[in-house]
Structure 1
Amino acid sequence: MQKKNIQFLTQAAMIAAIYVVLTFVANAFGLANYAVQVRFSEALTILPIFTPAGIPGLFIGCLISNILTGCAIPDIIFGSLATLIGAFGTRALKSNRFLAVLPPIAANAIIVPLILKYAYGLEPLWFSFLTVTAGEIISCGVLGLLLAFALNKYRKQIFGN
């Protein structure tokens, strides 16, 4: 039992760390925050398919990323919660990879534009819905599915299940 707990914590910590690094890479290109967002780290939202440790790992990684990239308090809180909601949804739909990418896309497409409007004053709201959704489709849908197919071959070695 203790080995399982250590494995879970290690996987969650590694996922969080990778999420932060990938967010910083996207941030360097101006893609991590505001209206146009293509966070490479959001591809990791597919990981709850492989391990339940993906849920806290993604949440903590997003929380740390939002703090370190200077996001507003509502963004830190609600943006991280959007990732958490998406991660739970992905885990719930783990039997179908194509459906499993939808919860993080939907959670972020609904929550993040509202954050952009009320925390940053970005208008028009419809434009934020459009750009955030497009970015999430690229990050979670396209990159996430590519990552899932790449990891599936090595799932036992990487995730131990």
Structure 2
Amino acid sequence: MKNVRFLVQGALIAAIYAVLTVAFAPWSYGPVQVRIAEALTILPAFTPAAIPGLFVGCILANIFGGNGMIDIVFGSLATLLAAFLSYKASKKWLVPIPPIVVNGIVVGFILNYLYQMPLVATMGWVALGQFVACYGLGYPLMMGLEKYKDRIFKV
């Protein structure tokens, strides 16, 4: 039963991430982006199923993004690393930091390569967009889910 719950939670997170990213496509892709779905990067604080869920969701979203294999592979691996580091965060307020830093660096490099924009600019814009999504949307989501975590993320 535990394995089924893990699989279902991961699949639901992947689907929600992908749908939110594609639904808000004008804000989700490009050199300046705020992925609404990045608010979900707080979920590893509640369940380890969020780690593969966010990774698979990001792969699916990046397939639709139009930035090619470099974004599908490296952008998604950045999300995997950030999700793992968020899972390991020792305090709740630290949970959103890994997606901001990891994506700021990795996706910043990807966008620098794809759009030939200055590296500092692409890293800065990605990190700012991540900050808005992760602390502006994700942190309040985390505080709201905290009350219901035993019912929603039962292991």
Query: What's the TM-score bracket when you normalise by the shorter of the two chains?
Result: over 0.9
Name the SS of the counterpart of 2:79 in structure 1: helix
Q: Distance in 1 between matches of 2:68 and 2:138?
A: 27
The residue identity in structure 1 corresponding to 2:21 is T
Structure 1 residue 105 corresponds to structure 2 residue 103: no
Q: Which residue of 1 aligns with 2:18?
A: 20
Structure 1: 5+ residue stretches without partners: none
Structure 2: 5+ residue stretches without partners: none
Alpha-carbon deviation of 1:124?
1.9
Alpha-carbon deviation of 1:51?
0.2
Question: 1:67-103: CA deviations, max 9, x gaps?
Answer: 023221101111001100100000001x411111111
Q: Distance in 2 between matches of 1:97 and 1:26?
A: 27
The Cα RMSD (Å) is: 1.0
5 Å-filtered alignment, 1:132-147, equals 132-147=126-141
Q: Which residue of 2 aligns with 1:82?
A: 78
Q: Distance in 1 between matches of 2:8 and 2:119?
A: 39
* Structure 2 length-normalised TM: 0.96
Q: Name the stretch that deviates more: 123-132 or 7-16.
A: 123-132
The residue identity in structure 2 corresponding to 1:13 is A
* Structure 1 length-normalised TM: 0.92
Structure 1 residue 96 corresponds to structure 2 residue 67: no
Q: Which residue of 2 aligns with 1:33?
A: 29
Name the SS of the counterpart of 1:31 in structure 2: helix
- Percent identity, aligned pairs only, is 48
Verify the 8 A CA contact 1:20 1:64 in the aligned structure 2.
yes
The residue identity in structure 1 corresponding to 2:126 is V
Number of aligned positions between the proteins: 155
Structure 1 residue 129 corresponds to structure 2 residue 123: yes
Q: Distance in 1 between matches of 2:144 and 2:116?
A: 37
Name the SS of the counterpart of 2:24 in structure 1: helix
